[in-house]
Amino acid sequence: MRNRVTGQTANCRVNTIDGTVLSVTLTSQTRPPQQTPPMNALINACIQRTAEEMVVATRDIEFVSAGPVSAESGARTLTMRNRATGQIAECRVSTIDGTVLSVTITGRGSTPPPSGSTPTSGNFSGRGQASGAVFGGGRQADASLSFNQNGFSLGLFVPPGTGAQVRYQGTINRLRGTNPITPTVW
């Protein structure tokens, strides 16, 4: 056995009949611990992966805070925020090799987005599993959404050559809310 953090090794004798541990002996030979990635490498890995999960540019994601390192897994949870929307995500990253283990989008954080940041137009794209009449039992599809103050366009399509696609276009004729700067489309 080898401790992944310290590099210390041990010999373990096990009874092959019933699986009980007979003895554990620490060996005197240890190898130097692995070089762990610097904190900025962990932050950059989480920024990249969080941006992919939120389908935004990496420049829209910022580091907020870091939790403690888990003694069991060597993982650390970094809190990330989408600068444009204020949306919060928790990124679990290995402090041993810098691998992002998971990203969980937790919703809005305690800090609201900057004033006036609600877009009145935008283009969003992503990739995911689509299902329905055109896409059968679910297929990988690209999606795009474009909108402005007057209209919108929504499209779902699979890679070229398959012919499956759905596109909706329309006009926005009614807004909900009373704030003229950041109205809610209804």
Q: Which class is domain 39-108?
A: alpha beta
Please, is 170 exposed, middle or buried when counting C-beta atoms within 10 Å of its C-beta (0-12, 13-18, 19+)?
exposed
Write the pLDDT tens digit of every residue in 18-77.
Answer: 888 888 888 765 555 556 788 999 999 999 999 888 888 889 999 999 999 988 888 999
Q: What are phi and psi of 81, to 5 degrees?
A: -135, 140
pLDDT, position 91: 94
End-to-end CA distance of the chain: 60
- Over residues 80-107, the mean pLDDT reads 89
HEC string for 110-160: CCCCCCCCCCCCEEEEEEEEEEECCCEEEEEEEEEEEECCCEEEEEEECCC
Q: Is the pLDDT of residue 180 over 90?
A: no
103 close to 49: Cβ distance less than 8 angstroms:
yes
What is the C-alpha separation between 123 and 184, in angstroms, rounded?
17
Which residues, at least 6 apart from 128, have a Cβ–Cβ distance to it below 8 Å?
A: 140, 141, 143
Q: 68's torsion region: left (phi>0), alpha (psi -120 to 50) or beta?
A: beta
Write the pLDDT tens digit of every residue in 101-140.
Answer: 999 988 654 444 444 444 566 667 777 777 766 666 667 7
pLDDT, position 185: 47
95 close to 74: Cβ distance less than 8 angstroms:
yes
The domains of the chain are located at 39-108, 122-185
